[in-house]
Amino acid sequence: MKTKKPTAFNPVFTITPAMAANLMRIEAVRQAIQSLPITPRVLASLRETARLFSTHYSTMIEGNRLTQEQVVQVIGQEQHFPGRERDEGEVKGYYAALDEVERAAQQQEAVTEAAVQRLHALLMGGGKTRVRPTPYRDGQNVIRDSRSSGIVYMPPEAKDVPSLMKQLVAWLNRQDELPVPIRAGVAHYQFATIHPYYDGNGRTARLLTTLILHLGSYDLKGLYALEEYYARGLKDYYEALTVGPSHNYYMGRAEADITGWVSYFIEGMAVSFEKVRDQARSESAKGGKDQTKLLRNLDARQRKALALFRRSRQVTAKEIGALFGLQPRTAALLCQRWVESGFLEVTDPARKSRRYRLNNVYEAMLDDEK
């Protein structure tokens, strides 16, 4: 079948009254969360829960068989489940990609094709952090119904993928006038539509969504997980993404009106944000000093390591390695980097018994929790 050359990306949608109302709900929660005092212990706990929820639900959407409890065990305790090696790799990869989203957002890095390709590489890397950006697919892929094997969607040809991705990224970086949630929703839809990879497209689309929201200051201190909203209503999620008169990209999908999808996405954000607000209000009622600004200086591993220092003010590299499932040499190098960055201080310099403590600023932060 002859295909037409992709035209410049120009999504078609209308901001309806219901959509506008949901945008106002999102803004109200965003402002409320910024003013709520949340202690380091509570913030770290809620953030980690949100990350684990994101990992569990986003991989579950694609058929991952690990339960929420098993995801926690794989990520936090390096436990293994025979026969679930691929599932374990998927959750480790998604968790590693979330680390990259957070790092890129902290550095306020622009959304680029290379950034998207790195996210995909981490996603598919099984937890590895040293990866090369993944090139786009070089052949046709097809989405089929798992029961009937019928074609559900036929994405654009491989030759058109680079141009379509370039157009999407260019559109994202020039759309300052659109509300950030709408930009994120459109990006999710268009990435899934282009389907630039053979595998991992849905997960990468959801990661891209999170990155755009975080870059646009819609991070809610990292406490929400949109993936749960999708996973709890998969039928609605897939129906909202199914747009256009044909399953073939070249037969109307590119020009289709995506108001329905954007409306679904914005409503999901509003529901997810309000859930976070209710949790945060409950926790903030317990009192404590808000340390959000200080905690933002820490990466995901450093925030997780705070749990060790709550139990003991001095720890070894071995204990830190056990927390993250690292080999002794890797754990020692990590501690060395943390000393150089000012996060840790050495209390016992002896090589065999070397111990570490938090620097005074972060130790005082833990003292404020008591």
Distance, C-alpha 292 to centroid of its chain: 19
Domains in the chain, ordered, with CATH? 17-284 (1.10.3290.10), 297-367 (1.10.10.10)
Is it the case that residue 3 has pLDDT exceeding 60? no
- For the segment 349-367, the average pLDDT, to the nearest whole number, is 82
pLDDT in tens, 58-96: 999 988 899 988 888 888 767 889 999 999 999 999 999
- For the segment 104-109, the average pLDDT, to the nearest whole number, is 89
Rounded CA separation 151/171 (Å): 29
Confidence band of 43 (pLDDT split at 50, 70, 90): low
Rounded CA separation 166/8 (Å): 10
Whole-number pLDDT of residue 151: 86
Closest-CA residue to 256 (of 266, 242, 268, 267): 242
Average pLDDT, rounded, for the chain: 86
pLDDT in tens, 305-354: 887 887 788 899 988 888 777 788 888 999 999 999 999 999 878 777 78
pLDDT in tens, 176-234: 789 999 999 999 999 999 999 999 999 999 999 999 999 999 988 777 788 888 998 98
Query: At residue 271, what are phi and psi to the nearest 5 degrees?
Result: -65, -45
Is it the case that residue 13 has pLDDT exceeding 60? yes
Distance, C-alpha 140 to centroid of its chain: 27
Is it the case that residue 297 has pLDDT exceeding 80? no
Is it the case that residue 2 has pLDDT exceeding 90? no
